[in-house]
Structure 1
Amino acid sequence: MSNTVINVVKRNKDELKKNASRRLRAEGFIPATIYGQAEKPLSIKIDKKNFKEILKNRSMSNIIFDMHFKEDGREKKETTLIKEFQKDPISADFLHVDFIRIQMKKEVETTVSVSILNEEEAVGVKEGGGVVQRGLRELRILCLPTDIPEKIVYDIKNLEMGQSVKVSDIIPEEEIKILNNPEEVIVSIIHPTHLVVEQPVAEEEAEGEEPEVIAKEKAAEKEEQ
């Protein structure tokens, strides 16, 4: 898998002031920050249209970016992964993206989604009348950047009523180490009466909520909005 080349622009002082991020988004940019490798955070802006095109039909967890930009008149490059991102809950537009610097020959910790196959064909569902209850939807892994999978797939066709799939049941490729607690549950088949249904949030409680944050992992620092 080859790295994805993207041209970005280092933000100037005016673009770091209060409310500057909102103006950048109105101009078609996504504010972003690059962290890691014991270096200073680098504030950049990314062309929104180009970024969305790159992500189209791809998993964000394993895209390795070669980010090209100019600094002090010199061409520079940072190799990164997406660390965290925020989206507007209504428009689904990116509000901010954090990237983490990586070294291609050094292991990196990241998260990947878990995809469950044959939910409707599972023995406990088809023959036992049970329902599928999901637990963990992502796993924390440690591996080289080039070994990061798009997702981890698990087939539950033979899963019976009352059985669960735990982290310890997932056997990844030998170059990948799963960091989650082995006892954490990924998926179960339970009796319908045991299904936990989330209660709707009361209207008065919902008012004033912050915009939705969809995060892979909290970055150590945040840019000044």
Structure 2
Amino acid sequence: MSGTVLEAFERTERGNKTRKSGFIPGILYGSGLKESRMVKFETEKLENDLSKTSNKKIKVKLGEDVEDGFIKEVQREPVSKRVLHIDIQVAKGTDIVKVQVPVAIEGRAALESQGLILDIQSQELTIHGAEQDIPENIVVDVSNLKVGDAITVSRIKVRDGLKIVDEPTKVIASASVPKEEEVETETEDTTTNEEGAAPAGTETPAE
């Protein structure tokens, strides 16, 4: 389980009033609770906690109770990206959940040492299974990728009881040649052609 603990406080006011008082409104729900709870989080602390991890698997503290849970949705202001609202699903042990789990890339240095660049196309995968079995991240090793190779969902293995919901053909990462090299090659070819050709509008003197 992640070490991230988000401290929540009960709230009764609407979202705008909550934000004006220096808090971020949120909702707790799930089988671990008798009913959904309206809560709020200290703005600065929540922003700081979220900036330190991409992990959706967290603990949430409300009063004396600490529950396991998942960040289901974070609403942000489009321009400033500040957090406007957060939804957290509380779950326990054998509860079946569906949650987005971050991808953790391994072997990037080995790939780049071959002069290749890594294109990450999927930052998260959706996993279905028991709460206690959901990993904090999905490790993807890219060290053996060659030019044009891609790692798709179909190549990712998870423990028994878990299922990746995303399409098997969904691309997670691929390897390619840096575009700068292609541009340099094109520039060199152009320069060579210009040096060997007479300027436009100039006749080549007869020998």
Say whether residues 1:84 and 2:73 are aligned partners: yes
Correspondence for 1:105: 94
Partner residue, 1:26: 20
**Corresponding letter in the other structure for 1:106:** D
1:98-145 CA distance string (max 9 Å, x none) = 1223233212110111122233421xx544x54322222110012332
Identity of aligned residues (%): 29
The verdict on how the C-alpha distance between 1:163 and 1:53 changes in structure 2, with shifts beyond 3 A counting, is closer
Q: Spell out the pairing of 1:131-210 with structure 2 (5 A cutoff).
A: 131-192=117-178
Is residue 48 of structure 1 aligned with residue 43 of structure 2?
yes
Distance 1:62 1:119 in 2: 25
Deviation per CA, 1:51-97, whole angstroms, max 9, x where unpaired? 3455463444110324349xxxxxx8876422101223554432111
Q: 3-state SS of the aligned residue for 1:84?
A: strand
Inter-partner Cα distance in structure 2 for 1:120 and 1:78: 38
> Partners in 1 of 2:142 and 2:19 — Cα distance?
43
| Distance (whole Å) between structure 1 residues aligned to residue 109 and residue 49 of structure 2 | 33
CA distance in 1, matches of 2:46, 2:81: 14
Name the Cα RMSD after superposition. Answer: 3.1
**CA shift digits 1:153-185 (9 cap, x unpaired):** 222111111211111211223353222111211
Residue equivalent to 2:186: none
Gaps of 5+ in 1: 70-75, 194-225
Deviates more, 1:25-34 or 1:146-155: 146-155
Q: What is the TM-score of this pair, normalised by structure 1?
A: 0.64
Matched letter for residue 77 of structure 2: D
Letter in 2 for 1:6: E
Deviations 1:186-225 (A, max 9, x none): 11113456xxxxxxxxxxxxxxxxxxxxxxxxxxxxxxxx
Q: 1:130 to 1:47 in 2, by over 3 A?
A: closer
In structure 2, the CA distance between the partners of 1:50 and 1:119, relative to structure 1 (3 Å rule), is: closer
**Structure 2 unaligned runs (5+)?**
180-207
2:59 aligned residue: 64
Give the letter aligned to residue 150 of structure 2: S
2:99 match: secondary structure:
strand
Aligned position for 2:199: none
SS of 1:51 mapped into structure 2:
helix
Distance of 2:147 and 2:74 partners within structure 1: 37
Runs of 4+ residues deviating >6 angstroms: none
On the 8 A contact 1:111/1:139 being kept in 2, the answer is yes
